Structures are given as C-alpha cells and as structure tokens.
Amino acid sequence: MVKVLFVCLGNICRSPLAEGSFRKLVETEGLAGRILADSAGTGGWHVGEPPDKRAREAAARRGIDLEGLRARRVEPGDFDAFDYVLAMDRDNYRILNEARPAGAKARPRLFLDFAPELGLSEVPDPYYGGDDGFERVLDMVEAGARGLLAEIRRDRL
C-alpha cells in the first residue's frame, strides 16, 4: 500500500481538498486498494472539526466527498507511516522539515512540484478569502493529484 499525507495549516481547507481530490482520482482509476490518502495540519486550532463548509460545498460540486473527515495535527509517526508527506505551501514545508524525526522514511515535498505546468509552488490559503478561492484551490490540487498519481504509477506500483 502506498500512503500519501497531504498537509496544510488548519487541515480544514486545502489539505482535505487535496485528499478528497486525490482519493476520487485513485478510485476512478481502480487503485483504491493500493493507495491510501490522508491529511493533517501543522496547526492545532481546528482539531476534531470537519472541513470548512465552503470547502465541502466546492468539493461536492465536483463530485468530491469530504463527509466524515475530521482535522488532526501532524505527528512524528506520520513520517514513517506515510510514503509521501506533501506540503501545500513553503511555510508548512519548512515546519514539516523541522518536525521530521531524524532517519524517518518520508521527506516532505511541496505538493505543487507534481504539477509543474501550473508554474506555482504554493496552494494559497483560501480561509480568509471568498468562495472563488476554493475553486482555484480545487483546480490546483486536481492538477497536483494527476501528477502525483503519475509518479506513483511509475515508481511504486
């Protein structure tokens, strides 16, 4: 089983959208038994909460189901439990690198490195913006999800 962890700050906007988008792609491709997706936040303010309502609604419009997800914080064991630990932006990438136990299996990577065609390195935080921010996040994470699955197919399956 290949295990992927998507990480943002609050685990209520970007990383649940990335998780849901990637999971939908994996299911569509018939790989649900071989690839597992999860998400977490580097901050703890929203632990136990479902994804932001705007994220759930934007996801639902694209056939992505975020029901049942609850925010959790990244923990040291995640770096051995997961093969991929993917940060939504540079701040969280830096925090993950500092939190990674020495010798752990996974090294953090920037999620959008899997979508070089976008010419972007960060998924912008949509929390304080309008609804269109969530649509843009979905466009980005869907592109990242496709690139990530291509690498997993090439290197791990």
Per CB under 6 A, 9 contacts ligand 4NP? yes
Q: Does 140 bind ligand 4NP (CB under 6 A)?
A: no
- Give least dist CB 123 to ligand 4NP, A: 8
Residue 55 CA to residue 64 CA, distance in Å, equals 10
Nearer to ligand 4NP, 2 or 95 (CB): 95
- The reply on whether position 23 binds ligand 4NP by CB under 6 A is no
Nearest-10 Cα torsion for 128, 129, 134, 135:
-170
- Indicate whether 121 belongs to the interface with ligand 4NP (CB under 6 A): no
DSSP 108: E
Closest contact distance (angstroms) between CB of 156 and ligand 4NP is 27
Q: Is residue 49 close enough to count as binding ligand 4NP by CB under 6 A?
A: no
Binder to ligand 4NP among 104, 127, 136, 147 (CB under 6 A)? Answer: 127
Contact 111, 18 (CB under 8 A): yes
Both tokens assigned to 119:
């010419």
Residues labelled as active-site residues:
8, 14, 125
**Is residue 11 a contact point for ligand 4NP (CB under 6 A)?**
yes
State how far the Cα of 25 lies from the Cα of 3, in Å rounded to an integer: 15
The kind and range of the H/E element at 3 are strand 2-8
Residue 30 C-beta: closest distance to ligand 4NP, Å: 29
- Asked if residue 104 lies in contact with residue 24, where contact means CB atoms within 8 angstroms, the answer is no
DSSP structural state of residue 2:
E
- Residues in the site for ligand 4NP, rule: CB under 6 A? 8-14, 45-46, 125, 127
